[in-house]
Amino acid sequence: MSNKKIPRFETEEKERDFWAEHDSVDYVDWSKSERVVFPRLKPSTKTISVRLPEALLDDLKYIANKKDVPYQSLLKIYLAERVEEELKIE
């Protein structure tokens, strides 16, 4: 099977638009693909501002200190666990 040649793109936006309209099966022989792992790839993050009651923040910092983790990391863990739990309910 002969695949079409992937064009060169001037910008990432043009590449996104292209792939939104085209099927990669026409351009890539997926039967020859291999699974790869990027262990150092970090997910994109976005900074937000959340107002918390001081007592709640103090409690979170206390628990984080006992677990020897940064409180913001602990908060992300708690949020991720709760979101996963809520998504299972749907």
Q: Per-residue pLDDT tens for 41-70?
A: 888 889 999 999 999 999 999 999 999 999
Global pTM reads: 0.53
Sign of CA dihedral 14, 19, 22, 28: positive
Q: Per-residue pLDDT tens for 22-47?
A: 999 999 988 889 989 888 888 888 99
Q: What is the pLDDT of residue 41?
A: 87
Q: What is the pLDDT of residue 23?
A: 93
Q: Per-residue pLDDT tens for 3-22?
A: 899 999 999 999 999 999 99
